[in-house]
Structures are given as C-alpha cells and as structure tokens.
Chain A
Amino acid sequence: MPQTPMHTDTSPLLEIRNLQTHFFTHDGLVKAVDGVDLTIQPDRTLCVLGESGCGKSITARSVLRIVDQPGRIVGGEIIYRAADGRTVDLAAERPGSRRMREVRGKDIAMIFQEPMSSLGPITRIGQQISETILLHRKVTKAEAREIAIEMLDKVGIPDPTGRYMAYPFELSGGMRQRAMIAMALSCQPRLLIADEPTTALDVTTQAQILDLIAELKEELNMAVMLITHDLGVVAEVAEDVAVMYMGKVVEYGDVHDIFANPQHPYTRALMASIPRIGAERRDRLPAIRGMVPHPLSRPSGCSFRTRCDHAIPGVCDQSEPKLQPAAPPNQPVSCMIKR
C-alpha cells in the first residue's frame, strides 16, 4: 500500500480498490458491493449511476463506515488522503474510532437519499444544523446560528429565519432535502458525497443547488461524488462517470466519452431508456428486458449476461470480465467482447 504522497495536486483524494461489502442475512450472503474500484480526484465531480439496487448507496455508506448490520466490509481498501497529505485506509478503521469520527461530517460529508433517515424527527431543523456546525467548526453558538440561516437561504428555502424553527414534518419533501444539503455543506467538507440530492426538487431549485455545489467546489477545492439517476444532471455537472451493475463498476470514463461513446452494453441500454422532452411520442418506453438476478444466485461469468443482447454463450458465462482498458484506453469497461 503506497503511504507516501508523490505530489498532492494530482494524487487522488479517495481511492476505492476492490471494495467488498456484504450482508450476512438469514437467507444467505448478499454481496451488495462486490469489488468496486473508484478514484475521486480533488476538485473533480464524479457521477455514479447504475441500476436501482446495484450498490451505489452501500458503497457511499462504506466510505463513511456507516453500513448497518448485518452488513460488513469484508475486503478491499478505501484510501483517503487527509489535508496533511497522509493517507489512511478507512476500510481498516473501526467505525467508531476517533479518526472515523473526525473524517465523518468534517472531511467527508454525505447527503442521504432519504432525508428523513438523517434528520431527527423531533428536533427543529435549525438546531440540527447549528449542532453539526458547532461539532466541526470553531465558532460560537450565535455564529453557528447565523451560518445555519445563511445556508438555509443559500439552498433556496423561503423565510430561512422562520424555517430555522420548523420541525422536519413541517417542511415539504424538497425542503427537507435542502435542509440536509445545508447541513452537509455548512461544515465545508473536502469531499461531498451526495446520494440523489436533487430528486425531490423542481428543475429551477435543482439548478440552484447544483450551482451552489459547483461554487463551493471551486471555493473550497471540494471533490464531489454524486449518485444520481438523472442523466440530465450527469450531463450537466459530471467530469468523470462510473456506471455500476450488480455491485461492480462496469464502465468508467470522462463524461463526454461516456455519453458520446458508451462501451458497455448496460451503459448503452441505459442511455437508450432516457425519456426526453419533445422526443417523438412513444407509447412505451424502452426498458432493459428481464430482471436483476437474485443477489443470492448470481449468474456465472458476466452478471449482465441474462439481460444482455450481445451475450455470447460459451464466452460470457465462462469467466467474469474485469474492468480494463478497451478501445479508448481511458475508458475501462468490463465486457468480454470489448477487449
């Protein structure tokens, strides 16, 4: 494991190598994350997309070491480069260690997919944000309150001073989401992990939030890992894109290359399913045929082969394709016919 930084500017902020996070359930072993490789560069935005249930959220939660029981990281490394240039393997830390508590919230902040899972239901939202700020920044109570109100305003919540006193149930779905975004950004993290941060927002508010994230990214040199199903958002903000399927990254590359030239059959099928405004009216939207295989009975060989139109019997079911450079060398893909 390389522990000494070469030179900080080009070294990745976070490097996930062969991460495996499994759930030990009564029915058997669920390999939710099964060999994920991802690199997040400082001051870049990585978008992660993939089928519902393919392990995006669990990958994110693994980084922060907040995977719930009966889940556990069983293999791989999560190399994080701290502000002082030293690296630490987060996968090897205890979830409750002092190091992890420092990293969580302060260095790496997360916006959760379902706001109610991170907002306490019986505490006023302003107080929740202030408490987080007090925990991670050296400010007085009054200053924390001011920062909190300013952040609520920045995320576009009307009447932020009044809403500071609101309980989560008094907010609309999108306001809760924005309150959580305000909380995550108020600590000025070095890495922001945003899990579907704008799904509950109308497009103008969404644009405003994406602008705010872009602004802070520039101002604070913040790296962003954005999990989203919205390919419009990906096209708008991503620099790098990773596509996941059944616990693995199956394609990775620059956003322009991925959209112009998707290599993996799954990525291609995904691109073909996007509904577009003003497109020729179709009675039915194209969907990828079949169902994601049961996690307990993964197909042999390529896990996409049961749904892939290009699968070759005797090839795709024999050995598992590995993520490796194909025709465009900077766009690794895991597919037997692309090498």
Chain B
Amino acid sequence: MTAPLLSVENLDMVFGGNKRDAGVRAVDDVSFDVMRGETFGIVGESGSGKTTLGRCIMRIIDPTAGKVTYRPDDSAPVTLTDLDKAELRKQWQSIRMIFQDPQSSLNPRLPVIELIGQALRKSEGLTGKALAERVAQLLQQVGLRPEFLHRYPGAFSGGQRQRIGIARALATGPKLVIADEAVSALDVSIQAQTLNLLQDLQDEFDLTYIFIAHDLAVVEHICDRVAVMYRGRIVELADRDTLFRTPAHPYTRELLEAVPVPDPSRRRDRKKTVPVPTGVQSAGCAFAPRCALATEICRNQTPPKRNVGGAEVLCHHVT
C-alpha cells in the first residue's frame, strides 16, 4: 500500500485560551489520512471547526498541537507543522485552498487577470499575452466568459466570484486542493459543470481533494470517504456508501434525516424539526444534550473511537 498523501495526527486548535478562560476548542484531537487521488469529504455542524481544520493543515494559522505530514512525491515526507514561512510558501504551490467566503478572499482592487495570474507568473514565469490566454482558458473552464479578464471582483455575482476562487486555486496545477464550500453559491447546472470539471482534473492529474461542504447530495456524489465533524471532533469517518447507507453516529443520522427533499408534495411538517440546544457540554460527549441515546456515561466520559460496521465512530453506545 502506498503512503497517504496527507496525514493529520492529533491536531488541536484552541482560540484565545488563558488561565481563567478555556477559550474555544475549534479543533479537538483530530486525526485522519488522505490518500493520493481521493476526494475526502468533511461535513458537519456549522461552527464545528471545518474551516479551521483546513486553515491549520495549510498553516494559514498555526495549530495549538498536532502534526501534519505531506508526501507530495517519492522523496522524504514533509512535516508541514515544522516548516518556517519560506519553506511553507514553496509547499503552497502544490497545496491550494478555495476559500469559503470569496468576497473577503479576493482583493477588490485587483482585476481578474491579476487575481488568477499572480501565481502563474511566479510559478511558470508567464507574462503578457501567454498569461492572458492561460487565464482566459481557466475562466472558460469554470464557466465564465473569457472577456471578463479585466473586470474587478465587485462587478461579479456571488456565484461568479466563487468560480474566480476556483480558477485561482486550480491555476498552478496543484496536488492537493482544500475546497471549502466551493460550489455552495452555484446554481445546480453550473454546480454540476464545476463538479464534472473537478472530477476530470482529478482523473487527468491524479489530484487529491479535501472537500468541505454542507450539501450532502453533492458530497455523496463526489467524495470517496467522508468525515463528519461535531464541535471540533470527527465523530464518524467512513467510506461514502457506508456513511450514506448505514450512518452510525446519532449526529450523522440526524443530519441525513434533515436533508430537505426537492419535492414540495413531500414537504414535512415544519413544526417537527428538533430545536437545537445551544448549551455547552463541558465533559463527555458534546452531542449528549441533543442525543436520544445519551446516558450517564455519555455526560461524563469522552467517547472512545470504535469500529461500527466499517465506520470509525466516536460514541459510547451505537453498535
């Protein structure tokens, strides 16, 4: 078996903790491997730490603890968590992130050709007409008119801006792309087109994706394996079919049940959806305040990682 492209081991990220205040534990002891050429999905509650996890892997922010190992080729593995800024920049040519909020990740004072072209100029030395042609081609791949080359981000719609972010991430021929809600603002047709493009690039260049998304139908379509996060932890990790056919963790089950069905005649009684308790559970399982299976042990002890029907599950009770 070949070594994984990326290994994340016991990663923690705590924001603003001090002696009196425990701070926000946004990522809590997270470990997983991403294999070369696979699409690794991350889904979960809003605020559960998905973006923070992506930013820690890239080292846009420095994790509080843990180790991230990257194996781009046959030479010695790179420990991303040990690199200094200059070494890190080199790795950023092959690890790219598509940001969740295109508005704040695209400099409003730069035209599209600069936004997408900057990296190409640096990595491939493209300039002038060759650069313009390459950027125009990239625009076309994400379904934008090549004529938009000299427009500024402010002159685009939300979905158009999102596609500029995608083109920028794909420009330099990356090995690993962390896509954070990359297709959420796209209509279903352009979304389909974009997902097809991501798959084509993967087939052609053996690209690896970490695909963070809320749209479970999209995740089911594109991902090989899926991790489910809740309050900083991965509570379930399984291959796609196992996760969608036989969800094990109570939170995963709740998620799948809440997916709205695109059929108005099967509209559910809106009053029945569970109110989400916002209370903070300090010890034990973070899902306990919401969980129908919760018992005393759940409230006191952190659940162990167990194998349930082929899935890694963080729970005391499910079998």
Q: What is A's interface to B at a CB cutoff of 8 Å?
A: 23, 25, 27, 49-53, 56-58, 68, 113-117, 153, 156-160, 170-175, 178, 195-196, 199-208, 210-211, 214, 229-238, 255-256, 259-260, 269-270, 273-279, 282-288, 291-292, 294, 296
Please name 7 further chain A to chain B contacts, defined as beta carbons within 8 Å, in addition to the given A158-B278, A277-B256, sorted by A numbering.
A53-B157, A116-B103, A153-B278, A170-B15, A173-B46, A235-B260, A238-B264
User: Contacts A201-B214, A208-B276 known; A52 to B160 CB distance under 8 Å?
Assistant: yes
At the interface, yes or no: B125 with Cβ under 8 Å from chain A? Answer: no
At the interface, yes or no: B208 with Cβ under 8 Å from chain A? Answer: no
* Residue numbers in A under 8 Å from B216 (CB-CB): 203, 277
A275 touches B193 (CB 8 A): no
B159 touches A172 (CB 8 A): no
* Residue numbers in B under 8 Å from A207 (CB-CB): 258, 260, 273
At the interface, yes or no: B14 with Cβ under 8 Å from chain A? Answer: no
At the interface, yes or no: B154 with Cβ under 8 Å from chain A? Answer: yes
A208 touches B275 (CB 8 A): yes
User: Contacts A157-B278, A200-B46, A270-B187 known; A287 to B260 CB distance under 8 Å?
Assistant: no
Q: Which among B51, B103, B157, B255 is the interface contact of A117 at CB below 8 angstroms?
A: B103
* Residue numbers in B under 8 Å from A275 (CB-CB): 188, 191-192, 215, 217-218, 220-221
At the interface, yes or no: B102 with Cβ under 8 Å from chain A? Answer: yes
At the interface, yes or no: B223 with Cβ under 8 Å from chain A? Answer: no
B45 touches A113 (CB 8 A): no
Tally of contacts, chain A with chain B, CB under 8 A:
211
15 A-B residue pairs with CB within 8 Å: A27-B147, A52-B157, A114-B101, A116-B103, A158-B47, A158-B280, A174-B46, A200-B46, A202-B44, A205-B46, A211-B270, A236-B264, A259-B264, A273-B189, A287-B190
A235 touches B193 (CB 8 A): no
Contact residues of B between 263 and 295, Cβ < 8 Å to A: 263-268, 270-271, 273-276, 278-280
Q: How far is the CB of A23 from chain B (nearest CB, A)?
A: 7
B255 touches A210 (CB 8 A): no
* Residue numbers in A under 8 Å from B17 (CB-CB): none
Q: Which among A113, A173, A259, A292 is the interface contact of B100 at CB below 8 angstroms?
A: A173
* Residue numbers in B under 8 Å from A159 (CB-CB): 278, 280
Q: Which among A114, A117, A174 is the interface contact of B47 at CB below 8 angstroms?
A: A174
Top 5 closest pairs, chain A to chain B, by CB: A174-B46, A52-B159, A232-B260, A285-B192, A114-B103
At the interface, yes or no: B244 with Cβ under 8 Å from chain A? Answer: yes
User: Contacts A158-B278, A287-B196 known; A200 to B100 CB distance under 8 Å?
Assistant: yes
User: Contacts A210-B270, A277-B220 known; A172 to B187 CB distance under 8 Å?
Assistant: no
At the interface, yes or no: B18 with Cβ under 8 Å from chain A? Answer: no
* Residue numbers in B under 8 Å from A172 (CB-CB): 46-47, 51-52
Q: List the A residue with the shortest CB-CB distance to B229.
A: A202
A57 touches B157 (CB 8 A): yes
Q: What is B's interface to A at a CB cutoff of 8 Å?
A: 15, 43-47, 51-52, 100-104, 140, 143, 145, 147, 154-160, 163, 181, 184-193, 195-196, 199, 214-218, 220-221, 244, 254-256, 258-268, 270-271, 273-276, 278-280
B221 touches A52 (CB 8 A): no
User: Contacts A57-B158, A113-B185, A270-B188 known; A236 to B278 CB distance under 8 Å?
Assistant: no
Q: How far is the CB of A59 from chain B (nearest CB, A)?
A: 11
**Complex Cα spacing A211 to B268, Å:** 12
Q: How far is the CB of A213 from chain B (nearest CB, A)?
A: 10
Q: Which among B46, B195, B255 is the interface contact of A175 at CB below 8 angstroms?
A: B46
User: Contacts A52-B190, A203-B260 known; A214 to B270 CB distance under 8 Å?
Assistant: yes
**Complex Cα spacing A204 to B272, Å:** 12
Q: How far is the CB of A267 from chain B (nearest CB, A)?
A: 11
A291 touches B100 (CB 8 A): no
User: Contacts A114-B101, A235-B262 known; A205 to B276 CB distance under 8 Å?
Assistant: yes
B43 touches A202 (CB 8 A): yes
* Residue numbers in A under 8 Å from B256 (CB-CB): 277
**Complex Cα spacing A170 to B47, Å:** 11
A236 touches B260 (CB 8 A): yes
**Complex Cα spacing A118 to B260, Å:** 28
B185 touches A196 (CB 8 A): yes
User: Contacts A159-B278, A259-B263, A275-B188 known; A199 to B181 CB distance under 8 Å?
Assistant: yes
**Complex Cα spacing A277 to B140, Å:** 29
